[in-house]
Each structure stands twice: as structure tokens, then as C-alpha cells.
Amino acid sequence: MRLFRKLTAVLCVGIMFSCSSLTAKADDELIRLPSGKNLDEFITEIEEKNTMNDEDDLSFASAEIGVFRGDEILYTGYFGQTDIKNHIPADENSVYEWGSISKTFVWVSAMQLW
């Protein structure tokens, strides 16, 4: 009877540990962004907001979005047209003017040195 109790206890502990590792793996597959949203929610929201319909027009010509973690590229998205007159869509080879984005680059560079 003692052997049966010990085996049952060991079996229960083994099942508990195996189940906890499964939930840990499931949590690892969900990529959380600093905003608290998971990556799938973010991508869905961005694509819904930036998809051009026939009835409405985007408030910008084009945009490119990239989400990175370390050296890993998690998401890249291209929206709008780089040349509206000739209907050329934005893609990974689109070239943009610097404009006021240089202020943002300087700020991010300074914060990385912090």
C-alpha cells in the first residue's frame, strides 16, 4: 500500500511539472510588445487602420513599419504608394526623404547611450 501511495504521488508530481512546462511554452510563443499588446493584435490593428479602400483615402502617401527584437525581424509592413500619380506601391526598396525624422534618430541614439 505504501508503494502504491508513493507511486501515485510521484505520478501526480510528474503530471504537474509536465503541464506547467506546456503553459510556459505557450506563453513564449505569444510575443508581447512594450505596450502590453501581443504582436498578433498589433499587426491586425495596423493592417486594419492602414488598408486603403475604394471609398476612403489614407491620410498619408505611404508608410513602412518594422518590429524588431534584437537581430530578429518580427514584422515588416508596407502601406500606401510612393508615387500616387503613377500608382507605385510602397515596398522594401522605397526611398524616403529624411525630413524631420532626423530629430527622432538623434533622440533614439542619445537614449541608447543612456
* Residue 9 banded pLDDT, cuts 50, 70, 90: low
Q: How far apart are CA 112 and CA 96, in angstroms?
A: 24
Q: Each residue of 61-94: pLDDT tens digit?
A: 788 888 888 888 888 988 888 888 888 888 999 8
Identify the weakest region by mean pLDDT among 8-22, 26-40, 99-113: 8-22
Once rounded to an integer, what is the mean pLDDT over residues 92-98? 83
Q: How far apart are CA 73 and CA 20, in angstroms?
A: 29
pTM of the model: 0.52
75 within 8 A of 65, measured Cβ to Cβ? yes
Residue 60, pLDDT above cutoff 80: no
Question: Would you state the pLDDT for residue 12?
Answer: 47
Interstrand relation of 72-83 and 62-69 (parallel, antiparallel or unpaired): antiparallel
Residue 101, pLDDT above cutoff 60: yes
